[in-house]
Amino acid sequence: MPLQLSAKSAPKLLQEFTDSYTLSEEGFAKILGEILHFSIERFVENGIFSQEKFDQGIINDLIERALRKYPDPLPNRSKIVSEAQTLLNDFLNNRKVLEEIRELLLKAKNILIEPQAYFHEKQEVLRPDILVISLKEVILIEIKLRASDYSEEQVTEYIRLLKKLFPNYPIRVYLLTIEPPALKEILREGKEEERYAEKLSHSTQLSLFE
User: What is the block-wise mean pLDDT of the chain (210 residues), using blocks of 10 residues?
Assistant: 42 44 85 95 86 84 93 90 96 93 92 88 86 94 95 92 92 96 90 40 44
pLDDT of residue 134: 93
Q: In whole angstroms, what is the distance from residue 21 CA to residue 19 CA?
A: 5
Give the pLDDT of residue 179. 96
Q: Give me the pLDDT at residue 21, please.
A: 56
What pLDDT was estimated at residue 207? 45
pTM: 0.78
Name every residue whose Cβ is closer than 8 Å to that of residue 188 and which is 6 or more positions away in sequence.
Answer: 170, 172, 173
pLDDT of res. 124? 84
Give residue 181's pLDDT. 97
pLDDT value of position 121: 73
Residue 140: the pLDDT is: 97
Residue 191 has what pLDDT? 47
For the chain, domains (ranges, CATH) are 9-93 (no CATH), 98-201 (3.40.1350)
